[in-house]
Amino acid sequence: MRIVRKEDLAADLLVIGGGTAGPMAALKAKMKNPALDVLLVDKATVRRGGSICRGMDAFNNVTVPGVATVQQYIDSIDLMSDGIADPNISKVVAEKSFAILRELEEWGVATFPRDADGNYMVQKFHPKGAFLAEMRGDIKPAMAKLLAERGVRVLNRTMATRLFAAGGRVAGAALFNIRSGVFQLCRAKAVILCTGGQGRFGLPDSGYLFGTFDCPFNAGEGYAMVYHAGGELANMEYNDVSPMLKDYEGPGHSTFIRHGGYLVNSLGERFMAKYSPEFLERAPSGIRERAMRTELREGRGPIYYDLRHLSPETVELIKEGIFAAERPTEKDFFALKGIDIGKDLIELTLSGPNMCGGHGPTGALVGVNAETRVENLYAAGDVASTGWGFVGAAWVFGTVAAEDAAGRMPALAFAAPDNREVAQELARLRAPLGREDGFDPEEMEYKVRRIIKPHLTSPKSEARLQAALRAVEGFRADMDKVRARDYHEVMKCVEVAAIIDTLEMAVRASLARKESRWGYGHYRIEHPEKDAAWAKKYAVVAKDMATGGMVTYAKPVPEYRG
Amino acid sequence: MGIKVDKEKCVGCGRCADECPGDVIRMDRRRKLPYNKYKNDCWYCGVCEQECPTGAAKMEFPCLIV
Ligand SMILES: Cc1cc2nc3c(=O)[nH]c(=O)nc-3n(C[C@H](O)[C@H](O)[C@H](O)COP(=O)(O)OP(=O)(O)OC[C@H]3O[C@@H](n4cnc5c(N)ncnc54)[C@H](O)[C@@H]3O)c2cc1C
Ligand code: SF4
Ligand code: SF4
């Protein structure tokens, strides 16, 4: 078995990741300029890849006129991020999300149920304002059909492993087909990266590497690709920890809470009242995590969702949303465990930490057009730092990136990738197949991920972080001993390398931010208070292109421009 | 755990293997049946079930969950 390099590809616009943001970006680029040659690649398939593979029960973060205001949205994200999210980006999400809801409805891609008065059903989850619209529909195949109609070229089972840049401009990407083993360089005038966040980070309690909440097929390769191409990443120190159903890290939290569910401890107390009397269950996630960990530590666990006070109609709506639209297998899970969610308490556990620009603030630092520091390289969706943006930010920034790239395209030219870098990348992929013996990629992945929870969960200590840095060095050396038996395992080797890269980013950013912020989002034992010097500042992670080493520095969050 | 197939109902179309986002499922060409090649890479998403035209595919939870 050998990876074969085939002829180079070229496209005006290369979109990497066909989940949520990617298909929207490809479609909008074609809508803006049908003459553009747009190529969309996904290591799964565009029809079923990514976080919303089966659909999603709510369009999170849509500002429906008359229901909530742009200012409320900006204020909510400001509160949740404690000032470490670009308010100009929140403004773009708030202003453009409703038009996207209407388009999805018009195209027949998704439906949005309305109440008896004909109004969209929108619920409150944020500290201020209601931004969660009920959503139904088999979104992905419908989007895939539109893409085919518009003439977007698609390559499925095609993984991007590295971006190439020349003189600070993006030049293309290395593509690897995980089934045929074909390697190709794809040159592009502009690239929109939509590969999702880091879903394979902290080990889930279930005992399975892939039993995660966030989509485990997004293993942080996007963060690694932006980094190696010279981009900046922000909020890598932020621990994205969500309450999850015990044993099955399936979704539920936002659905339960937005419909009025409670979090209770084993004494039946609605414990959030002690920690966040103002926002209760809707408190920012790091505050909620700290509350839950405190309850557990002090012996008042297990903790549960309690939906028993909700009306039968509301419980039906919850069931319909999760079982029909978002995660039908969750129905089987509850049946297996004998849990009736309207009548029984639902035990939960804490996931992650993961890294995500959708459920959190982590990702490539981008401007209001989704542009990164690397010229003509855009990032949209969970791979970008667009502050708790969920599907709303993925669709909005997919759109914004595509329109900007398509608008600028006449003036753009191909940059020439460095042939040595391409050859190096091919050699990196070939190496694990060439080893006669070695560690399995799964073993290596377990070894790396098992240190994440103990070393990165708040409270974080300097000693543990330093120890994690030393471990990272060891992991990199161990990667030379990992053997792949087939192309699927080569994919895993690339993923494990990305997990190691993102682990180093998380550790270095955690060391850099010498303060505590976001509750348990980032709590440092040695620096338990907020430090004014870090107010309105990102801890940025980037690659020093001269030395190849990882650097961190503080960078001001942009002022609100109104 | 991946997919569990009802052999009576399966028509060997391969859609489950084509669409599984984790590349868990592959087709046994000789027997014209899907099998779990990478069973521990399953996300319990249920795409295999949804894509199956005959109701032959069922997502199965793994040992530590059941
Ligand atoms: C279980 C769950 C429940 C959620 N609930 C809600 C909700 O109710 N409402 C809401 O608004 N949001 C919800 N979210 C969040 C929302 O789904 C995400 O924020 C959003 O879908 C992210 O879109 P994306 O395009 O960034 O990533 P994704 O949709 O995950 O797509 C990423 C794509 O990139 C591909 N890919 C990854 N790496 C590579 C690579 N190296 N090369 C090629 N392709 C690659 C993947 O195969 C995938 O198809 C939920 C997320 C999850 C996981
Ligand atoms: S449940 Fe999803 S990941 Fe698991 S085998 Fe089926 S399609 Fe693949
Ligand atoms: S999709 Fe259904 S019928 Fe087709 S191969 Fe898979 S199990 Fe068999």
Question: Hey, how many other C-beta atoms are within 10 angstroms of the C-beta on B24?
Answer: 26
Q: Does B62 touch chain A (CB under 8 A)?
A: yes
In the structure, what pLDDT confidence band is assigned to residue A256 with cuts at 50, 70 and 90? very high
Question: For ligand 2, is residue B44 a contact (CB within 6 Å)?
Answer: yes
Q: Domains (ranges, CATH) in chain A?
A: 243-350 (3.90.700.10), 432-531 (1.20.58.100)
pLDDT bucket at A251, cuts 50 / 70 / 90: confident
Q: Inter-chain contact A53–B45, Cβ cutoff 8 Å?
A: yes
User: Would you put residue B45 in left (φ > 0), alpha (ψ -120 to 50) or beta?
Assistant: alpha
Q: How far apart are CA A355 and CA A213, in angstroms?
A: 11
pLDDT at A325 over 90: no
What would the DSSP string read from start to end of A359-416? SSS-EE---TT-B-SSBTEEE-GGGB--SS-HHHHHHHHHHHHHHHHHHHGGG--PPP
Give the nearest partner residue to B21 out of A44, A209, A336, using CB atoms: A44
Q: Kindly report the pTM of this predicted structure.
A: 0.97
Residues of chain B with pLDDT under 70: none
Q: A209 to chain B: which residues are within 8 Å by CB?
A: 40-41
Return the pLDDT at A79.
94
Q: Residues A328, A330, A331, A332: what is their CA dihedral angle, to the nearest 10 degrees?
A: 100
Q: Give the number of other Cβ atoms within 10 Å of residue A277's Cβ.
A: 9
Task: Look at A403 and A124; give whichever has higher pLDDT.
Answer: A403
Chain segment A158-191, per-residue pLDDT in tens: 999 999 999 999 999 999 999 999 999 999 999 9
How far apart are the CA of B45 and the centre of ligand 2, in A? 5
Q: What is the DSSP letter of A90?
A: H
C-alpha A193, offset from chain centre: 12
How does residue A339 score in pLDDT terms, banded at 50, 70 and 90? very high
How distant, in Å, are the alpha carbons of A188, A251, A369, A509, A559 from that of A87?
31, 28, 14, 22, 7
State the SS3 of A431-461. HHHHCCCCECHHHHHHHHHCCHHHHHCCCEC
The arithmetic mean of pLDDT across residues A430-448, rounded, is: 97
ipTM above 0.95, yes or no: yes
What is the per-residue pLDDT across A487-541, written as a single tens digit (0 to 9) for each? 999 999 999 999 999 999 999 999 999 999 999 999 999 999 999 999 999 999 9
CB contact under 8 A, A48 and B43: no
**Contact B57 CB / ligand 2 (< 6 Å):** no
What is the set of domains in chain B, with CATH numbers? 2-60 (3.30.70.20)
- Count the alpha carbons within 13 Å of A178 in the hemisphere toward its beta carbon: 27
> Do residues B43 and B1 lie in contact, with contact meaning Cβ atoms separated by under 8 Å?
no
Q: Give A69-116 pLDDT, tens digit per residue.
A: 999 999 999 999 999 999 999 999 999 999 999 999 999 999 999 999
Q: Is the CB of B25 under 6 A from ligand 2?
A: yes
Local confidence band at A327 (pLDDT 50, 70, 90 cut-offs): confident
Of B22, B20, B1, nearest in space to B64 by CA? B1
Please check whether residue A360 is in contact with residue A522, taking contact to mean a CB–CB distance below 8 angstroms: no
**What's the DSSP call for residue A282?**
G
Contact A317, A342 (CB under 8 A): no
Token pair 């377990």 is at which residue? A446
Give the pLDDT score at A368: 98
Please report the pLDDT score of residue A250 as a whole number: 85
CB atoms B45 and A54 under 8 Å: yes
Closest partner residue to B21 (CB to CB) among A53, A212, A336 is A53
Strand-pair category, A58-60 with A262-264: unpaired
Q: Ligand 1: which of A391, A399, A428 to mutate, judged by most atoms within 8 Å of the beta carbon?
A: A391
Which residues of chain A have a CB within 8 Å of the CB of B25? none
In this predicted structure, which of A297-306, A326-335, A391-400 has the lowest mean pLDDT? Answer: A326-335
Contact A353, A456 (CB under 8 A): yes
Instruction: Indicate whether A1 pLDDT > 90.
Output: no
Query: Nearest CA of chain B to the CA of A105: how many Å?
Result: 22
What spacing in Å lies between the alpha carbon of A169 and ligand 1's midpoint?
27
Q: Which residues of B fall within a CB distance of 8 Å from A329?
A: 44-46, 49, 59, 61
Q: Give the 3-state secondary structure percentages of chain B, helix then strand then coil, rounded to 5.
A: 20, 25, 55
- The pLDDT of residue A127 is above 90: no
Give the pocket of ligand 3 (CB within 6 Å).
B 5, 10-16, 34, 51-54, 56-57
Min Cα separation A50/chain B (Å): 7
Q: Which positions in chain A touch B44 (Cβ < 8 Å)?
A: 211, 248, 250, 329, 333
**Which residue puts its alpha carbon closest to atom 2 of ligand 2?**
B45
* Residue A254 scores a pLDDT above 90: no
pLDDT band for A411, please (50, 70, 90 cuts). very high
Q: Which two tokens stand for residue A127?
A: 């500290």
From B21, B44, B50, residue closest to A45, measured CB to CB: B21
What pLDDT does residue A351 have? 87
Residue (of A136, A134, A131) closest to A108 by Cα position: A136
User: Touching check for B41 and chain A: CB below 8 Å?
Assistant: yes
Helix (H) or strand (E) holding A472: helix A462-478
Distance, in Å, from the CA atom of A154 to the CA atom of A175, rounded to the nearest integer, reads 13
- Which residues of chain A are at the B interface, by a Cβ-Cβ cutoff of 8 Å? 44-45, 47-50, 53-54, 138, 157, 178-179, 206-212, 215-217, 247-248, 250, 327-329, 332-333, 336, 442, 488, 491
Residue B11 gets which letter from DSSP?
Answer: -
CB proximity B50 to A under 8 Å: yes
First to last CA, chain B: 11
Q: How far apart are CA A513 and CA A529, in angstroms?
A: 11
Q: How far apart are the first and last CA of chain A?
A: 57
Residue with tokens 């593509």: A175
Please determine, for residue A324, whether its predicted confidence score (pLDDT) is greater than 90: no
Nearest CA in chain A to B41: A210
Within 10 A of A486 (CB to CB), how many other CB atoms are there?
A: 15
Token pair, residue A23, equals 């298909």
Name the closest ligand to CA A352.
1
Structural contact between residues A53 and B45, judged by C-beta atoms closer than 8 angstroms: yes
Q: How confident is the model at residue A393 (pLDDT cuts 50, 70, 90)?
A: very high
Q: What is the mean pLDDT of residues A148-161?
A: 98
Tokens of A386: 């667009």
The reported pLDDT for the residue numbered A458 is 95
Computed over every residue of chain A, the mean pLDDT equals: 96
DSSP state of A546: T
Q: Which residues, at least 6 apart from B15, have a Cβ–Cβ distance to it below 8 Å?
A: B51, B52, B53
Position A464 pLDDT exceeds 90: yes
Stretch A51-76: mean pLDDT, rounded? Answer: 95
pLDDT of A11 strictly over 90? yes
A149 SS3 class: helix
Longest dimension (CA), chain A: 68
- Count Cα atoms within 13 angstroms, Cβ side, for A145: 8
Show Cβ contacts of residue A170 under 8 Å, excluding neighbours closer than 6 positions: A163, A164, A188, A190, A191, A229, A374, A375, A376, A377, A415
CB A301 within 8 A of CB A338: no
Q: Which residues make Cβ contacts (< 8 Å) with residue A211, sequence separation at least 6?
A: A204, A248, A249, B43, B44, B65
Determine phi and psi for B8, rounding to 5 degrees: -65, -40
For atom 2 of ligand 3, the residue with the nearest CA is B52
| CA count, 13 A, side-chain hemisphere, A391 | 28
Report, as an integer, the average pLDDT of A236-254.
Answer: 90
The arithmetic mean of pLDDT across residues A463-474, rounded, is 98
Indicate whether A66 pLDDT > 90: yes
Query: What's the gap in Å between the CA of A18 and the closest CA on chain B?
Result: 11
The rounded Å distance from CA A199 to ligand 1 centre is: 9
